[in-house]
Structure 1
Amino acid sequence: MDGDDLPPSISFPEEEENIIRLHEKLDAFQTSCKLSSKRPSYTFYDGPPFATGLPHYGHLLAGTIKDIVTRFAYSQGYHVERHFGWDCHGLPVEYEVDKIHNITGPHDVEKMGVAAYNDKCREIVMRYSSQWKTVVQRIGRWIDFENDYRTMYPSFMESVWWAFKQLFEKGLVYRGIKVMPYSTACATPLSNFEAGQNYKDVQDPAVIVSFPLDNESGVELLAWSTTPWTLPSNLALCVNPDKDYVKLQDKSRDRVFIMMECRVSSLYKSPDDYTVLKELKGKDLSGLSYKPLFDYFIALKTSRGAFRVVCDNYVTEETGTGIVHQAPYFGE
């Protein structure tokens, strides 16, 4: 083909659709799988989306990456089975059913009957499957929709229980404690994704609390917290090891505080309100012990080394005092 044979313009979307139609005519994906059936297998687990919603940008991005991985494996001489999956469990399905049937709590489910409620959940699980298939095929991804897997299939659930049993018998399962977001309406813990679905920017309460040092009479660490209700469980204070801190004399209160140097202006309106007594790095504060606000966990001071200053780079210069109150039981 020379330059004279080229069209004056090309519609890339039309060309993409032409290629997709050609692949469908040739049954290219299934044919490629048949041709590679005797090759070594490349196992690829495709994490399933929720079956109750339409595909969005995040699904398409992840799907494109998965398609690249599996196509590359095929080109390297492997047989790659690719089965689309559906996540049919969890709150999204129940939430949709609750909206449709005006269910507000367990008493409404009891009136309907658990079996009938489960049937309603099954009915809506695959209502978006055709739209998913259209979108996924339109972006050119090769994957098998006809032999899909669904988490509601007994065979799938049994395989999960089998895998869990193997882990349990090898001593890899243990009972522990973890702080989780909790839905009072659904009476169940939430995943991080579910907890973030109703994320809102709100005005946050914040307090500045002083913690007297043990070995330096009259000197206090100024800590900042947006979760004052966690202060009874305080076990440590955290500073940034690489940032500059100051020990200053508060003239109006006649007290000595330690805080991050660049945050002083957020606490004091004028330099005349304080006198800098000493400059130091955050790492210089590491290991200092202080008096706790409450004595609930005082025994941990000697047995576990609680109520000391620790260092971490997550402490920033943007907010607070540069000293962060730590209550491990209330977070990760």
Structure 2
Amino acid sequence: MAAGSPRSVTMSDVARRAGVSRTAVSFVLNDRPGAAIPDETRRRILAAIDELGYRPNAGARALAAQRSEWYGLITEIVTAPFAVDVIKGAQDRAWLDRKFLLIAASEGDRAQEAAALDKLLEQRVEGLLYATTWHRAVTLPKAAREVPTVLVNCYDAEGELPSVVPDEVGGGHRAARRLVEAGHERIGFINLDPDIPAALGRREGYERALREAGLPLDPSLVVSGHATADGGYTAACELLDRADRPTALFCGNDRMAMGAYDAIKERGLRIPDDVAVVGYDNQELIAAYLRPKLTTLALPFEAMGAKGVDMLAALAAGQSLDTPRVMVDCPLLERSSV
């Protein structure tokens, strides 16, 4: 027969072209151990597959084998600055096991999220990753429990699903300690909205570093910048207009650090000579292009994506996890603002 489109060619067509049984074709395609297929017959089958452009039916193979060689990734951050890092980390780790990712965008919409989950389960994915833009508690549909599921940059509000999150306390400690080591004793902290996990953790780390250095904790040096550049500017103005102004600012994200830069320069102060600044997140379009370049903590999205798949692979293999919530280190990226 003449070769049609790859989708129209069946295993029976391959068997007829090679002059063998359909079972023999199946044994070769699945590399079935113990199948006594002569080398010459195997070559004929492979040649027929190539000539006809045959592609195995992935859905049928997954149904028969109960495995699809796919992991599903549901995320609201496909268009966010860090999305590529999560996806790269996850896919690079998955490829070590010759697995691939099926990615579904939820954009934070609960109905779209549920539909994405159903579609991924229909594809018989071997496990699910669920990734969020910012660190917080989430509640997933019950269907997520049908396969191994790991949360990335978030955690299960019900405490049932394992997760991988950034070490917020460790990051806050590292940021404040860097300023202490630079000789600063009055360090202002421009925090995120105060009740979210990142704000709580980073403040805990900041206070721990001050205590370890024997420095007093002054609550009036902690101001919320609400995660925006304008908020960072307003908070920095408040701190810098004090008679006992701080000589360093730890900003809870890089956008607020960008606003703080404006407040510092408006007052004729120099960075880092008069006021040192440390940011958080390592948003490349901000941190590397401010002048001077911003010293900041990197949110480990690539590492979290990789660790999430690592945990998922263990669960899919029937293994237990040492800990249900893994924290990944936030490294300090030294530039020129301290």
Q: Which bracket does the TM-score occupy, shorter chain normalised?
A: under 0.3
**Could you tell me the TM-score, scaled by structure 2's length?**
0.25
TM-score, normalising length: structure 1 = 0.25
Which of the pair is proportionally richer in helix?
2
Higher Cα Rg, which structure: 1
